[in-house]
Amino acid sequence: MNGADATDWGALAANLAVTAATAGAVLIATFAVAVRRGPHRIVDIAWGLAFSAVAAVTWLLSAGHGDDARRLLVAAATVLWGLRLAAHIARRSRGHGEDPRYTALLDKAPGNRTLYALRTVYLGQAALVWLISLPVQAASYSSEPLGPLAFCGIAVWALGLAFEAIGDHQLARFKEDPANRGRIMDRGLWAWTRHPNYFGDSLVWWGLYLLACTAWQPALAVLVSPVLMTLLLTVGSGKRLLEKHMADRPGYAEYAARTSGFIPRPPRTPTHDRPEGTR
């Protein structure tokens, strides 16, 4: 990390205003589609699309303000991640009804369900997209050439994308086999962590954060992004809600007892299978 700040803060401030409108436009358009055709679960597809849109708009607006290699790298990495995620969720959701999470949320609506959905789900997600994408925007407005920390960030991003994509693929193949109906997926990456896709997602954003660490000022200013994404995945709407939904599945308690909840590690040996005198 260079001690001198090479960020064009004035141009970045203008970019932040445009990308807020961009994220809002994507989510409001998705809301219009959901109201017309339903269900609200399509907002999950828009999540990745909104990040991709913010990255693309930032790349266009930052021309002449930041290092071209860094601009292209951070934009391409974000768009690739966002489009892959959107495509995966679209395939996974095909033929399914409303997501139980949104049903439960909207059942608590204090008034008009549609307006409540717009306010809490769509505009809420637009705000999160804008906030979490801060490293993508800040990195694009730094004139600092790529250095070791940036390449480290791409390595972390690539590892995260691989974890996420491989985990999703393994789970999809598992579910395609009728013999696995009602069983818990505990193979491949899923034997090392109960949430390889969420763990990978977190690494993606820590990697993008490292691309924005060109000096201590931007590094501190955008730290909220990977921290917030990690919290959303672990104690927010990701891991916590999914495990609550899975808790009553036969065999899940045993799976949870031997498998890490987030950071990958070798599965634990069940207590009754351990040699006497070990812990």
pLDDT tens string 120-134: 999 999 999 999 999
Domains in the chain, number: 1
By residue count, the chain amounts to 279
Mean pLDDT over 24-44 rounds to 93
Closest by Cα among 132, 150, 140 to 12: 140
Q: Does residue 210 or residue 38 have the better pLDDT?
A: 210
Is 35 part of a structural domain of the chain?
yes
Q: Is the pLDDT of residue 153 over 90?
A: yes
Is 275 part of a structural domain of the chain?
no
User: What is the CB-side half-sphere exposure of residue 81 using CA atoms within 13 A?
Assistant: 32
Tokens 């999470």, located at residue: 101
Determine the pLDDT at residue 134: 98
Closest by Cα among 89, 101, 266, 269 to 192: 266
Is 3 part of a structural domain of the chain?
no
Q: Is the pLDDT of residue 277 over 70?
A: no
Dist. CA 199–CA 132, nearest whole Å:
16
Determine the pLDDT at residue 182: 87
Q: Is the pLDDT of residue 275 over 70?
A: no
Q: Is the pLDDT of residue 33 over 60?
A: yes
Closest by Cα among 227, 14, 28, 203 to 131: 227
Determine the pLDDT at residue 278: 33
Closest by Cα among 270, 86, 267 to 186: 267
Q: Does residue 268 come out as left (phi exceeding 0), alpha (psi in the -120 to 50 range) or beta?
A: beta
Dist. CA 210–CA 205, nearest whole Å:
9
Is 38 part of a structural domain of the chain?
yes
Mean pLDDT over 63-88 rounds to 97
Is 240 part of a structural domain of the chain?
yes
Dist. CA 192–CA 178, nearest whole Å:
24
Beta-bridge partner residues of 7: 142
Q: Is the pLDDT of residue 180 over 80?
A: yes
Distance linking the first and last C-alpha atoms of the chain: 43
Least confident of 99-103, 124-128, 170-174, 208-212: 99-103
CB-count burial class (<10 Å; 0-12, 13-18, 19+) for 129: buried
Is 87 part of a structural domain of the chain?
yes
Q: What is the pTM of this model?
A: 0.91
For 213-229, the pLDDT digits (tens) are 999 999 999 999 999 99
Name the phi and psi angles at 127, rounded to 5. Answer: -65, -40
Range of the domain at 195: 9-267
Dist. CA 148–CA 130, nearest whole Å:
27
Determine the pLDDT at residue 243: 84
Tell me how many degrees the CA angle 17-20-23 measures, rounded to the nearest 5: 150
Is 261 part of a structural domain of the chain?
yes
Q: Is the pLDDT of residue 276 over 50?
A: no
Q: Does residue 28 or residue 40 have the better pLDDT?
A: 28
Distance of CA 100 to the CA centre of its chain: 20
Dist. CA 224–CA 217, nearest whole Å:
13
Q: Is the pLDDT of residue 237 over 80?
A: no
Confidence of residue 99 (pLDDT cuts 50, 70, 90): confident
Residue 200 amino acid letter: G
The answer to whether the CB of 54 falls within 8 A of the CB of 23 is yes
Confidence of residue 1 (pLDDT cuts 50, 70, 90): confident
Is 277 part of a structural domain of the chain?
no
Determine the pLDDT at residue 270: 66
The pair of structure tokens assigned to 62 is 């930052």
Q: What is the DSSP letter of 64?
A: T
